[in-house]
Amino acid sequence: MTAVCVGRPDSLEEDVGLFSSDVLQPRAVPNPKTPNQILDAIAEGAVKEIIKMGWGESKRARTGFSEIPFKVNNNSNSLEKFEISKAKIRGLASLTRSRSASFNDDQTQLKGTLMVENVCITANYCIIFAGVEEAPSQTFNGEVTECVEKLFADLEVGLLELVPQNIQNYIVRSGHDSLDKMTNLDGNKMAKVHIAGVRKSLRQELERTMNSNMKVMINRAINAMKKAATEA
């Protein structure tokens, strides 16, 4: 028998406001000179780029398969496959400075942390359990939402006369995360295994987005500041 993963349409509730897309009030000032002012200007420039990309409400996330091998009680090997589809991320426009920034001694480098808050990824999931010995193969479909309270990007930015030039270092880390919902697993004896696998896949996608797509938006903001300085 062939297992088939069936996608589900996004619900109306998710499209019309289950998650807030409010953008934080501006903190940037004209002609930023202090570490906090410069990092605020970078953050707000990046938010403008995020909105320009159409990600203010939500951003489509990468979808695909992952696999988790494991052993059952009698040491037999088995495998679970997880498929994530129709995934959307909400909350990226909340990007802001997390803490006080700082210069190095000669003010050629800015160190600071940017963050997004209450970022959630909602997706359809499909779990395929290959089966082993007496345990039959099984397929489960449903909807899942994983949220992270805070995603951080610790960065170092090169400066020339206090004007941002480039990203010199960029490290992503995540705060506390939670499972908001996961449907169609009531009474499933392997629910804990299924949940752990799906949540891991979704957390990885949130971190990948912060490490790649959001870095691009931040870099665009830096380039815009650099261009504005040369044209002044």
Supply the mean pLDDT for the chain: 85
On whether residue 46 sits in a domain, the answer given is yes
**pTM of this structure:** 0.82
Answer whether residue 119 is part of any domain: yes
Query: 15 lies in a domain?
Result: no
Q: Domain count for the chain, please give it.
A: 1
* pLDDT tens-digit readout, 180-219: 999 998 877 778 888 888 898 899 999 999 999 999 999 9
Q: Band the pLDDT of 24: cuts 50, 70, 90.
A: very low
Residue 145 within any structural domain of the chain: yes
Measured over the CA atoms of residue 25, residue 31, residue 37 and residue 42, the dihedral's sign is positive
User: Band of the pLDDT at 140, cuts 50, 70, 90?
Assistant: confident
Element (H, E) at 174: strand 163-174
Q: Is residue 28 part of a domain?
A: yes
pLDDT of residue 28: 63
| Helix (DSSP H) and strand (DSSP E) numbers for the chain | 4, 9
**Is residue 16 one of the residues assigned to a domain?**
no
* pLDDT score of 15: 33
Give the type of residue at 20.
S
61 located within any domain: yes
Does residue 150 sit within a domain? yes
Encode pLDDT of 63-108 as tens digits.
877 776 666 666 666 677 888 999 999 999 999 999 999 999 999 9
CATH assignment of the domain containing 202: 3.15.10.50
pLDDT at 72: 60
Q: Which domain holds residue 137?
A: 21-231
Long-range CB contacts for residues 223-232, cutoff 8 Å, separation at least 24: 224/45, 225/41, 225/42, 225/45, 225/163, 225/164, 226/163, 226/164, 226/165, 229/161, 229/163
Which residue is associated with the tokens 């988790």? 68
